[in-house]
Amino acid sequence: MGSFSIWHWLIVLVIILLIFGTKKLRNVGSDLGGAVKGFKDGMKEASVDGKPADTADAAPVQTAQQVGGQTIEGEVKEKTRS
């Protein structure tokens, strides 16, 4: 009753392949690999920039002058039901 042998793991793998199919498992694997790669790249960029890792994902705030746009001022009025 100890650990499973290689035959047990092969049977489990065959059952998983039959249930999900190879295409779905391939998509899940590629999605997981892309997420891990993105995480590693983010950690690498954070260490190069000298910033803590938790602030590396924050997007910089752009003002209207930086973007080249216009600031429009106005009021929001609440509609009243009659």
pLDDT tens readout for residues 10-61:
999 999 889 988 888 888 889 999 999 999 999 888 887 765 555 545 555 5
The residue among 37, 55, 38 whose CA lies nearest residue 47 is 55
Exposure string for 55-73, b = 16+ CB within 10 A, e = fewer: eeeeeeeeeeeeeeeeeee
What is the token pair recorded at 17? Answer: 């392949």
Q: How many CA atoms does the CB half-sphere of 42 hold within 13 Å?
A: 13
pTM of the model: 0.41
DSSP codes of every residue in 37-64: HHHHHHHHHHHHHT--GGGTTSPPP--H
